[in-house]
Amino acid sequence: MSRRTDNRHRVATICRRATGLTHDTCLRWAADGLITRQRPVPDAGTPQQRAFEARLFAELAAGAVLGLTGIRPARAEPALALHADRAREVLDALLPRLDGTGALRGVPGLRLVPDGGSWWLTDLVDRVARVRLLHPRPGWGPRPGPTARQDGGRDPLWRTHRHALHPAEAALLYGRAKEDGASWDRDLLFSRTLRRLRLIVDAGAQHGWVRLDTTGAYDLVIECCCASGALKLMHGLRQSALAQERDDEGPGYSGDIDVGGACVAVRHASCGSFPQPVAGPDLRWVTC
C-alpha cells in the first residue's frame, strides 16, 4: 500500500468514527480532497450554516442528541441520521413551540419542511441554511392531527407560522442579536461538535447516558459515565481536529479543548450520578 493510500485510509477512519458514515464514503471523500489530515471532518461552508447548526446543537445538548445516530457533514445541506425509535425526542427538542406558560421552547426560526418523502430543518431567518433529516423507516414523518400537537394541545410554530416569525421568536432573536461578545468561536465549536456527534453517541452507548451542559467557565461540558469513555471521546475530538492543533493538547486540563475563544471540557462522572436507563441494571453504586 502506498503512503498516499495509507494516509487516505487513516483520514477515512477518523471521519468514519466521528460521523458514522461508511468507510467507503469517507475514503472517497479523502480521494477527492474533501477531507484531509488537517481537516478530517468537513466544516460548514458559510457563517449562516455554521450558526444554524450551532443553534440546533445547543438545543440537542440537553439530552436529545442521543436521538441521532450519525451525520453526513457536507459543507452545505448536511444530513442528520435519526434513531429509529427516538426521532420524536429530536423534534420535540428542536421545533419551536409555546409551552403551557407561554414561554418559547425549541430553536426560534426553525421550520420543518417536507420534501417528497423526506424532511428538512430550515432557518426562517436567513432562508439559506438547512439540514436534512434521515430516518431508517420509509415514509416516516409528522402527521396532521392530535399526534402533531404538543404542550397541552398547542400546535408547534412550524405549523402555525410557517412563513413568518411568531412575535415570541422575533423578540428572542432580537435580544440575542443585541448581545455583545464574540459568538463566532462558540458557533464554530458547536457546529464542529455536531458534525462529530457519532463520538458522543458512542460515548453514551455503554450505559445509555452522556450529559452535555454549559457552565460559567465552559461553553460546553460533556460528562461520560465511564473513564474509558471520556478518554476515548477526548481522543476522538482531538484526532478529528475539533481544534486546529490536532495533536497538541495545549496548556490547561487534559480534558479541555479550546476552539478560539470557546472551550469544551470532557469529564468523567460516576455511573451512579446519571439517570438509570429504563429496564436497565441498578447502577446507583457503580463507579468506573
Domain boundaries, the chain: 1-38, 47-178, 196-273
**Distance, first Cα to last Cα, the chain:** 40
- Highest mean pLDDT range out of 61-65, 148-152, 178-182, 231-235? 231-235
pTM: 0.85
Identify the pLDDT of residue 196.
97
Q: Are 281 and 232 in contact (CB under 8 A)?
A: no
> Is the model's pLDDT at 247 over the cut of 80?
no
Identify the pLDDT of residue 140.
81
pLDDT: is 42 or 244 the higher one? 42
> Is the model's pLDDT at 70 over the cut of 60?
yes
d(CA 145, CA 128): 29
Identify the pLDDT of residue 173.
83
pLDDT band (50, 70, 90) for residue 278: very low
> Is the model's pLDDT at 34 over the cut of 60?
yes
pLDDT: is 98 or 192 the higher one? 192
> Is the model's pLDDT at 72 over the cut of 90?
yes
- Highest mean pLDDT range out of 25-29, 257-261, 275-279? 25-29
Identify the pLDDT of residue 51.
92
CB neighbour list of residue 170: distance below 8 Å, 6 or more residues apart: none
pLDDT band (50, 70, 90) for residue 143: low
Identify the pLDDT of residue 147.
39
List the grid coordinates of 128. Answer: 439559506
> Is the model's pLDDT at 75 over the cut of 50?
yes
> Is the model's pLDDT at 238 over the cut of 90?
yes
pLDDT band (50, 70, 90) for residue 207: low
> Is the model's pLDDT at 111 over the cut of 80?
yes
